[in-house]
């Protein structure tokens, strides 16, 4: 299994330029980014629904699009399955008829057998004659997925598959979709702006911000060590300050008005620093630790299953600290608080992937 995408497309307000690859069978690659950043447009370009302005798309050594060679394979010949947000079921057709539309087989009997096999896997064999409007949201999604799998695609594209479902149903269907994708022999490109969903379902991730893609990383790497400001924010980092390097392992946080030490040496491309809300540790004094931030408690927010504390830094800006309700209650509602942040939890960030790549290039030995 191999998908390579490197395309550009002029859109209203910005230019889309994405580059990534799915390199192994069963890999689920997420395109993660805010609404309107170009994620869905990228899927449409891969599927052949929209033609990129330039670039190249290759799937399993088959060139699907190449602007230089004037190649643009029609959507129906790409062997790509696309699950739309709306599922795109034909309203006048039954469940069986919808799946038959995409089913592979030399004869009608073979196509019916193929369709029925996928419908059984999706537990829809008792609903073959139902119309889409007679199905629940989850059943509609399973029907659309059965149609995709019956077409025997090399690649599956999923465009925010849970956006139309309530939270309880979404949680149920996540398990089913995960099982389906793990047994699918090809690869999957999964579009979402929900970081928790991506963490649970995907193997790798490519952050898209303002039309530009960051380097593909593993999902765990994105959440533990994001390298760009966009990656930190989209992965849920609430505490970000402008920063500049003042030593090999030391940076000054402009908005927080203090120095922080990092665990590893930094390069000169660092322009921001991030700290996740649950990384802080409350300490009793400053002498035992480096990386201590003295703060005044500004407000305390009672969240559903946790307590959120907004604390004002020496620089005047607010930090967000999140802990269990029991942990906060044990502190006795203090007005002032000392936060310790371990050096390995300090996240130096670049403004963009281009700056990070340029800094990494400088580290490489030159002939």
- Distance, in Å, from the CA atom of 51 to the CA atom of 65, rounded to the nearest integer, reads 8
Q: What is the pLDDT of residue 169?
A: 74
- Distance, in Å, from the CA atom of 119 to the CA atom of 135, rounded to the nearest integer, reads 14
Q: Do 165 and 44 share a structural domain?
A: yes
Residues 23-65 pLDDT 10s = 998 999 999 999 889 999 999 999 999 999 999 999 999 999 9
Does the pLDDT at position 354 exceed 70?
no
Q: Do 172 and 51 share a structural domain?
A: yes
Residues 202-233 pLDDT 10s = 999 999 998 999 999 999 999 999 999 999 99
pLDDT more than 70, % of the chain? 95
- Is 144 part of any domain? yes
- Is 302 part of any domain? yes
- Distance, in Å, from the CA atom of 69 to the CA atom of 147, rounded to the nearest integer, reads 32
> How many CA atoms lie less than 13 Å away from 84 in the CB half-sphere?
8
Q: Do 202 and 113 share a structural domain?
A: yes
| Among candidate residues 225, 254, 279, the one where a domain is terminated | 225
Q: Do 182 and 238 share a structural domain?
A: no
Q: For residue 149, what is the domain's CATH number?
A: 3.40.50.300
- Is 107 part of any domain? yes
Q: What is the pLDDT of residue 364?
A: 37
- Is 7 part of any domain? yes
- Distance, in Å, from the CA atom of 326 to the CA atom of 299, rounded to the nearest integer, reads 17
How far, in Å, are 108, 154, 290, 366 from residue 78 at the CA level?
A: 22, 9, 57, 41
- Is 340 part of any domain? yes
Residue 263: which residues within 8 A CB-CB, separation 6 or more? 249, 342, 343, 344, 346
Question: Where in the sequence is the domain holding 52, given as residue range(s)?
Answer: 3-225
Lowest mean pLDDT among 155-164, 324-333, 355-364: 355-364
Q: b vs e for 310-335, b when ≥16 Cβ sit within 10 Å of the residue's Cβ?
A: ebbbeeebbbbbbbeeeebeeeeeee
Q: Do 142 and 39 share a structural domain?
A: yes
Gyration radius (Cα) of the chain, Å:
24
- Distance, in Å, from the CA atom of 52 to the CA atom of 34, rounded to the nearest integer, reads 21
Lowest mean pLDDT among 5-19, 179-193, 344-358: 344-358
Residues 256-265 pLDDT 10s = 999 999 999 9
Q: Do 174 and 57 share a structural domain?
A: yes
Q: Do 212 and 76 share a structural domain?
A: yes
Q: Do 274 and 210 share a structural domain?
A: no
Q: Do 203 and 142 share a structural domain?
A: yes
Helices 137-150 and 108-121 cross at an angle (nearest 10°) of: 140
Residue 237: which residues within 8 A CB-CB, separation 6 or more? 226, 274, 275, 276, 347
- Distance, in Å, from the CA atom of 356 to the CA atom of 367, rounded to the nearest integer, reads 22
- Is 367 part of any domain? no
Q: Do 67 and 137 share a structural domain?
A: yes
Does the pLDDT at position 329 exceed 70?
yes
Q: What is the pLDDT of residue 168?
A: 72
Q: How confident is the model at residue 188 (pLDDT cuts 50, 70, 90)?
A: very high
Strand pairing class (80-83; 155-159): parallel
- State the total domains in the chain: 2
Q: For residue 314, what is the domain's CATH number?
A: 2.40.50.100
Residues 262-307 pLDDT 10s = 999 998 999 999 999 999 999 977 667 789 999 999 999 999 999 9
- Indicate the average pLDDT of the chain: 91
Note whether 39 and 158 are within 8 A (CB): no
Helix (H) or strand (E) holding 281: strand 281-283
Q: What is the pLDDT of residue 353?
A: 54
- Is 357 part of any domain? no
Q: Exposed/middle/buried for 86, CB within 10 Å: 0-12, 13-18, 19+?
A: exposed
Does the pLDDT at position 367 exceed 60?
no
pTM: 0.88
Q: What is the pLDDT of residue 138?
A: 86
Q: Do 277 and 144 share a structural domain?
A: no
Residues 136-179 pLDDT 10s = 888 999 999 999 999 999 999 999 988 767 777 777 788 888 98
Q: How confident is the model at residue 365 (pLDDT cuts 50, 70, 90)?
A: very low
- Is 358 part of any domain? no
Q: What is the pLDDT of residue 20?
A: 97
Q: Do 251 and 218 share a structural domain?
A: no
| Among candidate residues 174, 191, 225, the one where a domain is terminated | 225
Q: What is the pLDDT of residue 264?
A: 94
């Amino acid at each position: 299994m191999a998908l390579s995408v490197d395309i550009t497309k002029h859109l209203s307000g910005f230019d889309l330029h994405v580059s990534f690859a799915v390199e192994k069978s069963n890999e689920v690659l997420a395109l993660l980014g805010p609404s309107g950043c170009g994620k869905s447009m990228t899927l449409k370009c891969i599927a052949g629904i929209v033609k990129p302005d330039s670039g190249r798309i290759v799937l399993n050594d088959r060139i699907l699009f190449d602007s230089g060679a004037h190649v643009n394979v029609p959507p129906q010949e790409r062997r790509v399955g696309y699950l739309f947000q709306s599922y795109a079921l034909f309203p006048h057709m039954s469940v069986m008829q919808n799946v038959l539309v995409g089913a592979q087989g030399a004869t009608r009997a073979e196509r019916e057998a193929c369709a029925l096999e996928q419908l059984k896997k999706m537990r829809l064999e008792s609903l073959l004659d139902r119309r889409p409007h007679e199905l629940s949201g989850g059943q509609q999604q399973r029907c659309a997925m059965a149609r995709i799998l019956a077409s025997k695609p090399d690649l599956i594209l999923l465009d925010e598959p849970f956006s139309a479902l309530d939270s309880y149903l979404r949680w149920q269907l996540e398990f089913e979709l995960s099982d389906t994708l793990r047994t699918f022999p090809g690869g999957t490109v999964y579009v979402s702006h929900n970081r928790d969903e991506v963490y649970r379902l995907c193997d790798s991730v490519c952050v898209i911000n303002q039309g530009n893609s960051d380097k593909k990383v593993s999902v765990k790497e994105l959440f533990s060590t994001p390298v760009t400001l966009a990656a930190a924010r989209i992965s849920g980092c609430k505490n970000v300050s402008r920063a500049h390097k003042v030593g090999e392992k030391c940076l000054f946080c402009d908005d927080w008005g203090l120095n922080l030490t990092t665990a590893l040496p930094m390069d000169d491309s660092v322009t921001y620093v991030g700290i996740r809300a649950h990384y802080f540790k409350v300490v009793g004094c400053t002498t035992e630790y480096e990386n201590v931030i003295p703060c005044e408690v500004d407000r305390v927010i009672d969240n559903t299953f946790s307590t959120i504390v907004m604390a004002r830094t020496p620089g005047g800006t607010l930090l967000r600290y999140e802990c269990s309700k029991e942990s906060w209650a044990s502190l006795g509602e203090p007005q002032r608080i000392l936060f310790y942040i371990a050096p390995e939890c300090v996240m130096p960030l670049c403004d963009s992937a281009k700056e990070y790549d340029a800094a990494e290039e400088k580290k490489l030995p030159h002939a």
